[in-house]
Structures are given as C-alpha cells and as structure tokens.
C-alpha cells in the first residue's frame, strides 16, 4: 500500500468521493484504521480530554502532541497523518513555523491543523510558503471554549455565518489546503463547501461536506456523553475492526451523517 498524499485527498474531493477520517492517539488505533480504509487520521488535541483526562484541550502541550503523533505514525502505512497545533502554540508566525516543523520532523505528521479565523492568515501564509500543509479548523473551536462560553453550535446568526464564510475564503486564499468545520448548521457548511476548492471536512456540519471526521472513542461507544453529531458504530458489530469498517462504509456511501447527527439551523 502506498501512503496517501494531499493530492490523493484533493482527488477524492474533486471526484466527490467522501473522505473518511477519524482521530487516533496510538499505534494500534492507527493500524486498525489503515486496515479499515480510513483516508485521513488526525492526532487531535482532543487527546487532552479522551486520553489524558483533562476537562478541556487547553492543557495539551507540544510534547504531548509529539508523543502521540509519533505513536500513531508508527502504526500508519496508508492514511494521511495530520496533527493538531495545541493551544497557544501558534500565537506568532515564528512560533507557529517552529512548532509545525516539530510535529512534522519529530512527530512524523504530513499536515498540521490549527483553530483559526482570519486572524490566522499570516500564520497560514507563512506555513504555505514553507511547504507545511495546513488545515484550518473553523466553527466551534474547542481551544476557545472559555471565550465561547461552552461547546455550542456556531454560525447560527446571519452575521456570524457571513463572517465564517469570509474567514474560510481568506484562509483558503492564504494557502490553507483543507478546511474543517465543527458544529455548524448544515446549510452554512454546504455554502462554504460550494465556494471552496479545497476539501471541507465536517464534524457536526451535516452531510454536504467533502469528508467526515469523528473522535474514535465516540464511534466505539467509549464516551459517557457522546455528542449528538456522533454515532456508535460498534452497535451490532462483533469487533472494533468491523465497527471501523462500518464507519468508513457509512461515510463513503453517504449514509452518515443522517439528519439526526446534523444541525439544521
Ligand atoms: O482534536 C480533535 O479531535 C479535533 C477533531 C474533533 C476535529 O480537532
Ligand atoms: Na482539535
């Protein structure tokens, strides 16, 4: 098997074949996801919550991210490997370049992701100029949970929706290679996807995206209070392997997400 590249994912997007993506935090999860045909694996800073037991993603450090990215990289042969830039690791252009390079050189990531709006245009531009593939995460940005006042759907009001569209286009023009939309109304996600030429991956963003991502613990029924946009794919399956394959199949066929996993407005 050959390693998927950004061009391969762009090809899936151009052919309108949904991109199946999951988070992973260790080598075993990575190996099973490869076998199941997951296209894109994210070492999310959600590891602060689901692996390390913190209340939020804010305490996650660069060292935490590198430790888990290395583990996932060792288990992965096919899927593209993306790693999150943790809270406060990209406040200046220099710091962002330094930390992104660490995730790639020490961690083995092929791509990084940061939570951003138009404020991050300078960082994304610099990364793009230096050959660092970058995904911009818009909508619900968990690193801003204290500013947002909780985990809630974003872009419901017309003004906020227009701002998100503008931010998404600004980040694409700055050189972002992918957009990730978390907890946004399906209609807004569809609008952004229609305007974007780069892949738009959704989580709680409805079916009209180029791909879907979920936290692996949420699809394996391991979370106490899984978010409404997630689905337990272990139900009715005999193994974790079968559950992962069912997830990939559901994303590829368009049967996930259904209306009950989406926010209509
Ligand atoms: O950290 C994470 O797991 C993420 C995904 C939920 C998109 O950013
Ligand atoms: Na994240």
Residues pairing with 136 in the sheet: 114, 179
Active site residue 182: yes
Taking residues 99-108, report their average pLDDT: 98
DSSP the chain: -----HHHHHHHHHTTPPEEEEE--SHHHHHHHHHHT-SEEEE-TTHHHHTT--SSSTT--HHHHHHHHHHHHHH-SSSEEEEEPPTTS-SSHHHHHHHHHHHHHTT--SEEEEE-SGGGHHHHHHHHHTT--EEEEEES-GGGHHHHTSS-----SHHHHHHHHHHHHHHHHHT-SEEEEES--HHHHHHHHHH-SS-EEEESS-S-SSEEEE-HHHHTT--TT--TT---SSTT-SSHHHHHHHHHHHHHHT-SS-GGGS---
Catalytic residue among 157, 173, 182, 260: 182
Give distance in angstroms: CA of 45 to centre of ligand 2.
4
Three-state SS string over 164-199 comes to HHHHHHHHHHHCCCEEEEECCCHHHHHHHHHHCCCC
User: Which residues, including other chains, have CB under 8 Å from residue 51's CB and lie 6 or more apart?
Assistant: 25, 68
Unique residue bearing structure tokens 């559901």: 250
Query: Quick one: pLDDT at residue 265?
Result: 76
Whether ligand 1 lies within 6 angstroms of the CB of 47 is answered as no
Give distance in angstroms: CA of 196 to centre of ligand 2.
21
Going by C-alpha positions, the residue among 233, 124, 213, 227 that lies closest to residue 170 is 124
Taking residues 36-45, report their average pLDDT: 98
Other CB atoms within 10 Å distance of the CB of residue 94? 10
Query: Quick one: pLDDT at residue 44?
Result: 98
Q: Report CA-CA distances (Å) from 265 to 153, 169, 184, 207.
A: 9, 21, 8, 14
Q: Is the pLDDT of residue 1 over 90?
A: no
Whether ligand 1 lies within 6 angstroms of the CB of 201 is answered as no
Counting every residue written for the chain, the total comes to 265
Q: Is the pLDDT of residue 63 over 90?
A: yes
The number of the ligand 1 atom at minimal distance from the alpha carbon of 44 is: 1
Question: In the predicted model, what is the mean pLDDT of the chain?
Answer: 97
Give distance in angstroms: CA of 189 to centre of ligand 1.
17
Query: Quick one: pLDDT at residue 174?
Result: 98
pLDDT in tens, 157-215: 999 999 999 999 999 999 999 999 999 999 999 999 999 999 999 999 999 999 999 99
Domains of the chain, by residue range, sit at 6-255
pLDDT in tens, 139-156: 999 999 999 999 999 999
Q: Name the superfamily (CATH) of residues 6-255.
A: Phosphoenolpyruvate-binding domains (3.20.20.60)
Q: Name the residues around ion ligand 2, CB cutoff 5 A.
A: 44-45, 84
The ipTM is 0.99
User: Which residues, including other chains, have CB under 8 Å from residue 196's CB and lie 6 or more apart?
Assistant: 168, 169, 172, 179
Mutation probe of ligand 1 site: the residue of 20, 85, 180, 226 with most atoms within 8 A of C-beta? 180
The tokens describing 143, both together, are 């690193």
Taking residues 101-112, report their average pLDDT: 98
Give distance in angstroms: CA of 46 to centre of ligand 1.
6
Query: Quick one: pLDDT at residue 103?
Result: 98
Three-state SS string over 211-253 comes to EEEECHHHHCCCCCCCCCCCCCCCCCCCCHHHHHHHHHHHHHH
Residue owning the nearest CA to atom 8 of ligand 1: 44
Going by C-alpha positions, the residue among 155, 261, 138, 158 that lies closest to residue 198 is 138
């Amino acid at each position: 098997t050959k390693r998927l590249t950004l061009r391969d994912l762009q090809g899936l997007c151009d052919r309108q074949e949904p991109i199946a993506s999951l988070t992973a935090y260790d080598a075993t999860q990575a190996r099973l996801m490869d076998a199941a045909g997951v296209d894109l694996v994210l070492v999310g800073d959600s590891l602060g919550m689901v692996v390390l037991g913190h209340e939020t993603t804010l305490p996650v450090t660069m060292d935490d991210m590198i430790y888990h990215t290395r583990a996932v990289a060792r288990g992965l042969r096919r899927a593209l490997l993306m790693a999150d830039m943790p809270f406060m690791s990209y406040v200046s252009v220099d710091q962002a370049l330094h930390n992104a390079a660490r995730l790639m050189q020490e961690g083995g990531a092929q791509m990084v992701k940061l939570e951003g709006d138009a404020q991050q245009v300078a960082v994304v531009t610099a990364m793009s100029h230096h050959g660092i593939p970058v995904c911009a995460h818009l909508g619900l940005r968990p690193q801003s949970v204290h500013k947002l006042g909780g985990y809630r759907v974003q872009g419901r009001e017309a003004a906020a929706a227009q701002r998100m569209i503008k931010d998404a286009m600004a980040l694409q023009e700055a050189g972002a290679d992918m957009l990730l939309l978390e907890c946004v109304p399906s209609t807004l996600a569809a609008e952004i996807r229609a305007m974007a030429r780069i892949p738009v991956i959704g989580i709680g963003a409805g079916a009209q995206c180029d791909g879907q991502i979920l936290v692996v613990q949420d699809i394996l029924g391991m979370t106490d209070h899984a978010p409404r946009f997630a689905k337990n794919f272990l139900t009715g399956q005999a193994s974790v392997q079968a559950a992962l394959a069912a997830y990939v199949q559901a994303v590829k066929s368009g049967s996930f997400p259904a209306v009950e996993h989406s926010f209509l407005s």
